């Protein structure tokens, strides 16, 4: 197995546990994070070594990553596993899977690349690399069926783990928040996201606070290294004690909120699964954005995942040059002022959770086991 960063680590751990329930003596090895390690995977390399993002930024890491991939091909070609599972990290794993498949090893790619969003030609790469694709979004299987790629929709594990009861008063009591209106502000979990969005988000929060003097904000800090920068951005916005900072605990922060303001990405889906009205923004490096815009974004009407999964877009979204504090604040205040709209959004997102909750760990395990037996 090879998993990249924390989300892949969680997916990989769930898969390991589900397979071990049926085959307790099964052996797992490869690039793994702490969750996979705890589940029983032998860690050859840490998953965080693959946590390199963007189009331009990874170039500095390319020699190291190529050496790692070469070493994995050599080790598994010499001692073939029953099946290889690449968890996400497509830029690394698809090339690895193609080489292992050529060596006669059965390969699974878990989490489809976003071929529906950009670089649709990658479906040919997936077809050459993977014997089976495990999709976590319902519409992806049809794309692979059309390309004659064996794919299985397993559901989204986050939907399985999201609490069915969203207890707002309990979350606010646990956090010590006593306010009529609460906004969760999540500018991101990486330094680049905090730099690109934090200042704008907290400036928007200051505007919201002017319109809503009794509002309170809660911001989970993903890692301690981000705290100083976030605190400086809060001070610069003049928010003082209106913002409660948490050490992680993003789920509770979102549950406590009436509206969530966040960096578009995995957090947007998590917010929707918690049935929370959400406003999203996305801003990346100018060169990376220029490339993405030319290759894909001009074909997309929306970029925030919940908007792609529902019949009509429910998440106001801002991208690149459109990311500005006044426009963002307006959308948040509008949601705060319209409880009927918030309830409509919450009801649709609750249905989305049901659609995605498919016992994904078990479904993924069954698909891998079936392939291994062939």
Per-domain boundaries in the chain: 2-155+358-373, 168-356
pLDDT value at position 191?
A: 87
Instruction: Tell me if domain 2-155+358-373 and domain 168-356 are identical in fold.
Output: yes
CATH of 2-155+358-373, one of 1.10.1050.10, 3.40.228.10, 3.40.50.10420, 3.40.50.2000: 3.40.50.2000
Give the H or E element holding residue 184: strand 182-186
What confidence tens digit (pLDDT) does each residue in 19-49 have? 999 999 999 999 999 999 999 999 998 887 7
pLDDT single digits (tens) 221-243: 988 999 999 999 999 999 989 99
- Asked if residue 280 lies in contact with residue 286, where contact means CB atoms within 8 angstroms, the answer is no
Pairing of the two strands 28-32 and 107-110: unpaired
**Cα–Cα distance for residue pair 306/270, rounded to 1 Å:** 9
**CA 332 to each of CA 74, 261, 346: distance values in angstroms, whole numbers, following the listed order:** 53, 8, 15
- Check whether 179 has a pLDDT greater than 70: yes
Residue 291 binned pLDDT confidence (cut-offs 50, 70, 90): low
Reported as a single tens digit per residue, the pLDDT across 306-356 is 999 999 999 999 987 799 999 999 999 999 999 999 999 999 999 999 999
Cα(232)–Cα(80) distance, integer angstroms: 52
pLDDT for the residue 53: 47
Q: Read out DSSP for 31-95?
A: EE-HHHHHHTEEEEEEGGGG---SSSGGGGGHHHHHHHHHHHHHHHHHS--S-EEEES-HHHHHH
155 in Cβ contact with 141 (< 8 Å) = no
| 3-class DSSP assignment, residue 278 | strand
Nearest alpha-carbon partner for 243 in 215, 270, 268: 215
Task: Indicate the pTM of the whole model.
Answer: 0.84
Answer whether residue 289 shows pLDDT above 60. Answer: no
Rounded distance between C-alpha atoms, residue 236 and residue 230, angstroms = 10
Q: List the structure tokens of 119.
A: 């670089």
> What whole-number distance in Å separates Cα of residue 309 and Cα of residue 108?
24
Whether the predicted pLDDT of 246 surpasses 90:
yes
Q: How far are the Cα atoms of 150, 254, 273, 356 from residue 353, in angstroms, in the given order?
A: 25, 15, 5, 5
- Closest among 251, 257, 253, 247 to 278, alpha carbons compared: 257
Which CATH architecture fits 168-356? 3-Layer(aba) Sandwich (3.40)
């Amino acid at each position: 197995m090879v998993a990249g960063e924390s989300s892949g680590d969680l997916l990989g751990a769930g898969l390991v546990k589900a397979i071990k329930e049926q085959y307790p003596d099964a052996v797992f090895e490869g690039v793994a994070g702490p969750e996979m390690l705890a589940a029983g995977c032998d860690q050859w390399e840490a998953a965080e070594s693959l946590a390199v993002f963007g189009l331009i930024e990874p170039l500095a890491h390319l020699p190291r990553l190529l050496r790692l991939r070469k070493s994995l091909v050599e080790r598994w070609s010499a001692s073939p596993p029953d099946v290889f599972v690449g968890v996400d990290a497509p830029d690394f794993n698809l090339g690895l899977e193609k080489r292992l498949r050529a060596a006669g090893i059965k390969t699974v790619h878990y989490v489809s690349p976003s071929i529906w969003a950009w670089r649709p030609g990658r479906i040919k790469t997936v077809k050459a690399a993977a014997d089976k694709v495990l999709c976590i979004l319902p519409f992806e299987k049809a794309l692979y069926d059309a390309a004659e790629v064996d794919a299985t929709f397993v559901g989204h594990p986050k939907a399985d783990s999201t609490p069915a009861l969203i207890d707002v008063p309990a979350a606010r009591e646990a956090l010590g928040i006593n306010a009529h209106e609460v906004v969760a502000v999540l500018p991101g979990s990486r330094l680049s996201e905090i730099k690109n969005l934090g200042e704008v988000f907290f400036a928007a929060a200051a505007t919201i606070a002017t319109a809503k003097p009794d509002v309170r904000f809660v911001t989970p800090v993903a890692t301690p290294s981000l705290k100083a920068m976030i605190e400086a951005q809060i001070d610069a916005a003049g928010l003082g004690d209106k913002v409660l900072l948490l050490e992680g605990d993003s789920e509770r922060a979102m549950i406590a909120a009436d509206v969530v303001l966040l960096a578009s990405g995995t957090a947007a889906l998590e917010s929707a699964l918690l049935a929370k009205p959400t406003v999203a923004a996305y801003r990346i490096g100018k060169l990376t954005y220029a490339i993405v815009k030319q290759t894909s974004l001009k074909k997309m009407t929306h970029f925030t995942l919940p908007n792609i999964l529902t019949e009509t877009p429910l998440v106001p979204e801002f991208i690149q040059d459109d990311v500005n504090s006044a426009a963002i604040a307006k959308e948040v205040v509008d949601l705060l002022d319209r409880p009927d709209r918030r309830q409509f959004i919450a009801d649709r997102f609750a249905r989305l959770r049901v659609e995605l909750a498919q016992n994904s760990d078990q479904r993924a395990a069954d698909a891998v086991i079936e392939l291994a037996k062939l």
